[in-house]
Chain A
Amino acid sequence: MTAAPVAPAPALDPAVVADLEAIMDEPGSVLTDISSRVNRSRVPAPFPVHRWAEHLPSAVVLPRTAEQVSEIVKLANRARVPVVPRAGGTGLADGAVPLRGGILVDVKRMNQIHEIDMVDRTVTVGPGFNMMKLNEELAKYSVFFPDTPASYPCSLVGGRIACSGFSLLGSRFGHTRDLVISFEIVLPTGEIIRVGDGGGKKIRKSSTGYHLKHLFMGHQGTLGIVTEATLELVPKPEAEFAAFFAFDDYLQAHRTVHGIVTSGLSTLAGTVIFDEKKVEYLRRDDEAFIPMPPWVNSMVATALYGTKAEVSEAAKVLMDLGRREGGRYTGDEMAVGDWASRHDRYANPLHGRLKDGTVAPMSWHCEDASLNWSVLPQVREEWSAIADKYIDKYGIFDNWGMYCYTNASYKPWGDYLAEIDIGIWEEQLNDENWAGWVDFKTEIAKVSLKYGGSISSCHGTTRVGDAQLVPEEMGGGWDVMLKIKRALDPNNIMNPGKQMLDQAYDD
C-alpha cells in the first residue's frame, strides 16, 4: 500500500472550496476568513503563540448532517487535504489543533436532541450538544446525564468521545466511555457506521464481534468524525453531600482517601486530594482558601450523590472517615461553595506568580496521568522537583500544584487521575522557551510511565512532549495501532501528524 503524505496546506485550491460550498449548500457554512480560522486553531492549553500561523486551518465548515460530513471527508480524500474535527475546542491536549492546515469540521451546528427515550433510558444527540444544556432539558424528566468534566458548562459531547473524557462523578456513575452507549461515526474514507459494544443502538452490554465503541472512543480526531451519540440516562440524584478535610501532612490526606474509597459507600461519587503546592496556589487566589491557617498544606474533598435516605446515612460514615487520620472539617460553607465550583474549573484565574512574587498573565497547562494510589506520594515529589527545575531555568512557569481524583468507573479505589497544573507566560514564548516547555512535559510524562501509570487519564496524548512516548506506553500494541490507522485512513487525511501516527505511512 502506498500513501500520499499530506503536505501543509495553508490555502485550499479554490476548486475544493467550491466543492465544499456545493456540499454544504448553505450561506455561511464554509468560512475562509482569517478570524474564523484563527478562532478555531488553538485550545485552552498552552500554545506556541509565536508560531500561531502554522496552526491555522485552511477553511472551516459547519455541517448539520452526517451525510454532509461524509461528503466532506470523501472530498478531502480525493484532494488529499487534511481534515480536523472540532467540537467545543475545550480540550487540554491538541486533538482539535490543526498541524497541517486543511479543512476544519466544526460540529457545533449538530446540536439537536434527536430522541429522549424514557422507557429504555437513553437520549440521542448530535455531537455539538453541551452537557449542561442537555441536563437542563433532561431535568424536565427527572433524569440526568452525569458526564461532568471541569469544562462542564462549555465542552461538547463530540469532544468528550474524542478524548474519552473523565467525569468528576465517574466513581459513582461512570466516565464518558461508560455513559456513551453507542455512536455514529464517519470513517476517514467517508462511510457512516454506528459502533457500540456490539450492535444495537441502545444495548449496553454485548458479546457480538469486536467491541468497536472502545476502539473509536478516544480517537482524537484521527479515526473519524462522530455525528450522533446515544447516551445513558440516570435518575437525577435526590441529594448531594460534600465535605472537605484539611491536613498538615500529605501522607495523612493520602491515607484518608484510601480509607474513604475502600469503605464500601456506594454513593461515593468522587474524592480529590490537594497537595501542598495546590493549597499554596489556592491560598493566593481562591476565596475559600485565602483565610486558611498556615498549618494547612493538604486537603481531601469528597462527595456523595444518591437518594436522600442513602446520602444522609452515608454522610455520617464519611464524616468519621474524613477525620480518622487527623483531618479537620473545613465547615459547611466551604463544602457547599467549593464543591459547586468543581463542576466549572475553566473559571480559573489565568494568572500566575513569577519568582519575584509579581503577577503575570499565564495560560493553564494541566498535565494529567492515570496512576495507582500507592505511587502518588513518590510521583508528587518527582513532579514537583521537575517543576522547580524548569521554573528556575526559564522564569516563565509557575507550579499551581496537584489534584488527584478517583479515576475508576463505578468504583472509587485503585487508580487516580493525577494532575499537575502549570501556569505558562505565553507572551514570553519563543522557540527556545517552547522547546523547554516540551522537555518539561516529557519529563513529567516519563515519571508516570516509570511508576507503571498511563501518560493521560482524560486529555489524550496528542501534544508534542507526550506524543513521542505513546509507542513506549503502548508496547506491542503500538504496531497494532499503526495497522488500524493505515487500514482505516489509507491517505492519512484524518487529523494527520498527531500521536506519532505518521509512522503508519513510513514505507
Chain B
Amino acid sequence: MRKFSYEHEYTRPEATRISDGVIMRLDHVHEVDPDLMGHHFKQQVMPVWDTERIVSSRNAHLDWMHAHFADETLVAGEESELDLGPGQPAGDAVDRGPEVPANHPRPIFGD
C-alpha cells in the first residue's frame, strides 16, 4: 500500500509527447493532448491514484472477459513484427484472392 501524499497525488508528472495528439505522464497511460482537449471539455485535476485505479480496473475487466469466454487464452508466443516495416506477399500468395467484382468473375481458362 502506498502512503497518501497530497503533493504526490495532485502533482501531475511531466508529460512526454508520444504523437501529435497524445502525451504520457504515467507509464502506459496515454492522454489526449490537453491543448486539444480543453476547448470543449471542462478539465479537472485527477489524482494519480484515481488514474491508476481506472487503468487497473480496465485491465482487470479485460482479464475477466477472457476467462468469461474460454477456460484458457492461448497466444502465439511471438513478438510484434511492426518494427520490421510493411510485409510483402508470400511468393505463392499473389493469385490467392480474386480482386475482381463478383459480377465480373475471372475467366477459368485463358489469361
Contacts and interface: CB of A to CB of B under 8 A. Distances in A.
Interface of A: 132, 135-136, 139, 144, 148, 236-241, 243, 246-249, 251-252, 254-256, 258-259, 283-285, 287, 290-293, 295-296, 305, 308, 311-312, 315, 319, 323-337, 340-341, 343-344, 351, 353, 357-361, 372, 374-375, 378
B86 A359 contact: no
Contact of B39 (A236, A326, A336, A359): A359
A337 B55 CA distance: 13
Given A240-B66, A241-B73, A287-B30, 5 more contacts: A240-B74, A331-B79, A332-B78, A372-B102, A378-B101
Residue in A251, A284, A351 with the greatest tally of chain B CB atoms within 10 Å: A284
Interface in B1-27: 18-19, 21-22
A251 B96 CA distance: 12
Contact of B74 (A256, A283, A315): A315
B73 A239 contact: yes
Given A323-B90, A324-B93, A328-B82, A359 B76 contact: no
B111 interface: no
Contact of A295 (B63, B69, B75, B86): B86
12 contacts: A132-B68, A241-B75, A259-B96, A329-B80, A330-B80, A331-B78, A331-B80, A331-B82, A358-B36, A359-B36, A361-B41, A375-B102
Nearest to B30: A290
A243 B37 CA distance: 33
B86 A238 contact: no
Nearest to B62: A340
A216 B85 CA distance: 50
A259 B69 contact: no
Nearest to B63: A340
Interface string B80-111: 11111111111011001111111000000000
A491 B102 CA distance: 45
B53 interface: no
B45 interface: no
Given A236-B70, A240-B73, A374-B101, A326 B87 contact: yes
B22 A284 contact: yes
Contacts of A287: 28, 30
B78 A329 contact: yes
Contacts of A331: 78-82
B101 A375 contact: yes
Contact of A328 (B39, B84, B92): B84
A296 B93 CA distance: 20
Interface string B55-77: 00001011101101111111111
Nearest to B94: A325
B32 interface: yes
Nearest to A291: B18
A288 to B, nearest CB: 10
Nearest to B65: A340
B73 A336 contact: yes
B96 A325 contact: yes
Nearest to A318: B76
A337 B62 contact: yes
B28 A284 contact: no
A254 B85 CA distance: 19
Report the 9 A-B pairs with minimum CB-CB distance, sorted nearest first: A331-B80, A326-B87, A255-B97, A248-B86, A240-B70, A258-B97, A340-B62, A374-B102, A328-B81
A308 B84 CA distance: 31
A326 B90 CA distance: 7
A183 to B, nearest CB: 25
Given A236-B71, A284-B21, A375-B102, A324 B81 contact: no
B33 to A, nearest CB: 9
A359 B66 contact: no
A481 B5 CA distance: 67
A240 B36 contact: no
Contact of A335 (B28, B75, B98): B75
Contact of B82 (A144, A243, A246, A258): A246
Given A238-B71, A325-B89, A374-B98, A359 B22 contact: no
Contacts of B81: 328-331
Nearest to B86: A248
A161 to B, nearest CB: 22
Nearest to B68: A135
Given A285-B32, A375-B101, A247 B96 contact: no
A192 to B, nearest CB: 34
A238 B30 CA distance: 34
A296 B102 contact: no
Contacts of B88: 326
Contact of A238 (B68, B72, B82, B84): B72
Nearest to A331: B80
B96 A258 contact: yes
Contacts of A333: 80
A328 B87 contact: yes
Contacts of B62: 336-337, 340-341
A335 B85 CA distance: 19
A331 B81 CA distance: 7
A293 B72 CA distance: 31
